[in-house]
Amino acid sequence: MSNVLKDEYRVLTELKRTDEKVFRLKKELDQIPVEIADIEAEIQKSLDIYNGVKAQHDQIEKNLRKAESDLREKEDFLRKAESKMMEVKTNEEYQAALRENEGHKTAKGELEESVLNLISDIEKFKATLQQADSEHKVRSQKFNDAKKKLQEEGKSIQKSYEELLEKRKGVVASVSNEVRSLYEKVAAAVKGVPIVKAENGLCTGCHVKLRPQLFNEVLGLKSFHRCPSCGKILIAVIDETEQTT
């Protein structure tokens, strides 16, 4: 067994470990925006709940403004109608005007009652609105805190990720040109960690059974092989107690 090849196997073992961390961190990193989007959806949901209550409140207020305006119109109408009554010439006309005004007076009374009811409704609803507002504030505070925490976590993972990529560059630089170009070729072609262990006659990447001759060559550290099924670089399990992580 060539020592140079054994060293290369060592480096590939380290590269495999580094890549496993790289892929793990990348997965965590990709998860952060997904989780943030979930939180933002929760914040929006909370705002929608509040807006629903606010819309009910605004509707009552709108009804009140309308009733107040109708009441003012009715009062104006009655004032004018009463001054017109001073001008009627006959008793018949006077009686007719009186009857007509009675109807308007009844309507005015109903409007007054409606204004009072709506004022009372809006007073009662004020507490509901305040409660909805404070509940929304508590919820969005909680969600925003969680979002901030995730963003910070993302920054920290990003930093570790970049450091790891730098470290990997150093590891890759320490293998021979031949092995490096093999690694780079495989890394570009496969999904996930490009280096896998060959163990018990199997590729641990895709679990396919390896030809005995191929497996023995990998075990004997004779040359580098790619799994015929998944295309990843096969490495033997070598004395790992000597490894530095």
| Chain residues that interact with Zn ion, rule: CB under 5 A | 203, 205-206, 227, 229-230
Query: What is the smallest separation between the CB atom of 228 and Zn ion, expressed in angstroms?
Result: 8
Pick 150 or 219: Cβ nearer Zn ion: 219
Pick 53 or 230: Cβ nearer Zn ion: 230
Residue 101, both tokens = 């005004």
Residue 196, both tokens = 């896998």
Query: What is the smallest separation between the CB atom of 210 and Zn ion, expressed in angstroms?
Result: 8
Query: What is the smallest separation between the CB atom of 187 and Zn ion, expressed in angstroms?
Result: 15
Residues 6 or more apart from 229 whose CB is under 8 A from it?
A: 203, 206, 208
Query: What is the smallest separation between the CB atom of 190 and Zn ion, expressed in angstroms?
Result: 9
DSSP state at residue 190: S
Pick 157 or 236: Cβ nearer Zn ion: 236
Strand-strand pairing, 225-226 and 233-235:
antiparallel
Q: Which of 5, 59, 64, 8 is nearest to 180 (CA)?
A: 8
Q: Please work out, in degrees rounded to the nearest 5, the angle formed at the alpha carbon of residue 159 by the alpha carbons of 155 and 161.
A: 115
| Cβ count within 10 A of residue 29 | 15
Pick 121 or 199: Cβ nearer Zn ion: 199
Pick 179 or 227: Cβ nearer Zn ion: 227
Query: What is the smallest separation between the CB atom of 201 and Zn ion, expressed in angstroms?
Result: 12
Residue with token string 């910070």: 152
Radius of gyration of the chain, Cα coordinates, nearest whole angstrom? 41
